[in-house]
Structure 1
Amino acid sequence: MAEAHQAVGLRSSLTPDGAEVELSAPVLQEIYLSGLRSWKRHLLRLWDDFLTGVFPASPLSWLFLFSAIQLAWFLQLDPSLGLMEKIKELLPDWGGQHHGLRGFLAAALFASCLWGALIFTLHVALRLLLAYHGWLLEPHGAMSSPTKTWLALVRIFSGRHPMLFSYQRSLPRQPVPSVQDTVRKYLESVRPLLSDEDFDWTAVLAQEFLKLQASLLQWYLRLKSWWASNY
């Protein structure tokens, strides 16, 4: 329904003189509102969204990483190669009695950054792995070596006990279809419903639309595909 409402907002119409599309600020406003609604839904599911967002990691993995860093720091080892000292210098100076607190916060910030980098790496690896489609073309009961390797890597990076949207951020981004394909499929869908004369007139309007308005509307669609989860 949201996509239908945005399509109405474009105010496109077919006239005997050709296709007319009104492009104005409401179009960009609808794109903005669609992204805003998407993020509001995420905020309403804040904790579940956090768990699915960090999957296949977990909050316990952050605690384990932070504890390991604190233990190394206690043994006078610096796993950050000097980064925690630089973070401590950027923190406010609360006096000598809070020197231990600054070290604790520096370790927590470093552990969070390192944890986030590891999660991002896992998501990128899963997205690259899930983009592989070679297994679809293989005969039933047979599995090639690349597919076996791919399956083993997916099992390694996918984790255990996923939630409903755990792999949402790891799915490959679907490309925006070309406007030529969209128009072609539209003409194919209306062909059984129109007479020869009406279909020829519609085809002429479609070609005029491709020449005049299609490129700008396609740009709007690409913009929304980067802002909203459902374009």
Structure 2
Amino acid sequence: MATQLKPQFVRAVAVLVAGAALTLAGVLFYQRYTENYVVTEEKDGTAVTRLITARLSGASTLKVAELSGTLQSTATDVRGMGMLKSNQVIKVPFSVDYFVDVSQIGPADLQWSEGSRTLIVDAPDVTVAKPNVDESQRSLVRTQGVFVTREAGENLARRTSQAAQTKAQAEARSPERMAQAREKARAALARLLGAPLQSVGYGDARVLVTFPNERRARDNERWDVTAPIDEVLANRR
């Protein structure tokens, strides 16, 4: 016979669980606040350069391309009822990485066409990383204005940085750049996934990589898919 828990016991457990959740949330909030806003100082009050946090994470993504170059960014600041107007122009190098998450490619995404000796790979689409704008390597910083206050200078620096990030991301995600990145990804995946075929004697095989936006055109063609690639490799060995 099942034992029925008393309502008082259930309420006590619920209170303990809620208390633990609130405590954990408070600890996480304090850690994040300390990491982002609390200044680390020496005993005499001098701020120091110090590593606050560092996290090493595993990754299953394959870097397939990189877009790099130099961009120009501008910003304007207006204060004092329009009397104080200032602007800033910077030139700064940037880079943007493109990746493919190979962990999303499973056996169902790999098919073998014996007639054409082709490995058909249905790959996930290329993803674009956050732009890296290296402001420490700025080649030009030009600030103009009759009187540029400290607050105005900080605002100009922040806005030129944001504009540079936005421009780099827009360029990296443009249709032309994405098409170029997919071609680079196609070649990289063909090399990566073609290696097992070569190792088992299929050196003349080709690897056909398709991305989601290309599936419909590929599906309209007829392919003689004889077996999943894992079975082909197993039989070959």
TM-score range, shorter chain: under 0.3
Higher helix residue share: 1
Higher strand residue share: 2
TM-score, scaled relative to structure 1: 0.24
Q: Which has more radius of gyration?
A: 2
